[in-house]
Structure formats: structure tokens, C-alpha cells
Amino acid sequence: MMTDEGIIELFFARSEKAIAALADKYGNAMHAVSFNILHNEQDTQECVNDAYLSVWNVIPPTHPDPLCAFVCRVCRNVSLTRYHYNKAEKRDGRYNVSLEEIAEIIPSDQTVEREMEDAILTQMLNDWLSELNKVNLYIFMRRYWFCEAVADIARATRLSEAAVYLRLDRMKKKLAKYLTERGILI
């Protein structure tokens, strides 16, 4: 399997092999991210393909590091756009459940000032996440980044659903306290 740097070099060389190498290495992760948001195989395939095109359009000049996080974020954004489009037509609220659980903690109003503060908030979140043990980090990221169902997380961690909900609740409270102590208004 090709290294991330090798894949990025293919993108910079504008080689069509870049997409194939990216799909080979991270296609499953991108599919999982998209499917957890959309719960529809056809929409997922279209979003993953749109994500490949988006990555093609931004590399170069972007030189992402790490590549996996970058392509999953691109795929997530494409999938969220599709989700909101679908939601407007179907009024489907599956994805909102996980976001609503954390929405009270993370400010979301976008202004010019807010955009300037995003880097600071991102660093604070990264610092907080780095303090979590591996199991709690896995639970938090799978729920709020990958939008996985609590039942799936419980199976993967061999915890009960109640234990996963309890850990999520405790982590949200700790995150709220952490951000408040650092001047983020909740």
C-alpha cells in the first residue's frame, strides 16, 4: 500500500493514479464516515466520489498532513451537505440526534469574529481530546465525528449502551467545564 506522501506526490503530479491510491488506502474510511451520516448506500457512493473530486481540486496547492483526517473531513463535509439537502426534502432527523447532544457545548454561530476564533477553539478541543484515555477518545470521536449509533459503539468497546451514554454525558460535562474555564461562552 502506498504511503500518504506517495499519494500526495501523485496528486501534485496530477496523475489519475492518485485517486485509485487514495481509494485503496482510505476509501473504506471515507465510506464509513459518509454512510454513518446518510444511511443510504447510493448517496454514500455519490458523496465519496464527490469527495475524491474535491480532494483532486485542492491538492495541489494544499499539502494535507495527516492525509486520512483531511480526506475524511472533506468526505464528511460533502456528506453533511447532502444530508442537509435530503433533510430539507424528507425531514429526516437521524443525524441531528448526535449533533444536538453536543450542540449546547460547542458554539456554532458563524461571524467574521467567530471564524477568527475557530482556530483557538479547535486547539482547545484538540488539547481536551488529548487528555482523554483511549476508550473515551474512541467513544467521543465515533459518536460526534463519525456519527455512529451508541449501540454500535457499545458493541465495538464491549460496554453496555448505558455505560456508553454515561461516559458521553460525563465527557460533555467535562468539556463544557473545560471550555468555560478558558473563556468560551456556552
Tell me: do 125 and 164 sit in the same domain: yes
Other beta carbons less than 10 A from residue 41's beta carbon: 11
Q: Are residues 78 and 112 in the same domain?
A: no
pLDDT at residue number 87 = 78
89 pLDDT above the threshold of 60: no
In a domain, 186, yes or no: no
Asked if the bond preceding 60 is cis, omega within 30° of 0, the reply is: yes
Quick one: what percent of the chain has pLDDT higher than 70?
82
What ranges in the chain are assigned the alpha helix state H? 4-12, 17-38, 41-58, 67-90, 94-103, 112-130, 134-144, 150-157, 161-181
Q: Residue 138 belongs to a domain with what CATH number? A: 1.10.10.10
In this structure, what CATH number is given to the domain that contains residue 73? 1.10.1740.10
Q: What is the pLDDT of residues 121-133, one digit of tens each?
A: 778 888 899 999 9
Q: pTM of the entire structure?
A: 0.65
The reported pLDDT for the residue numbered 9 is: 94
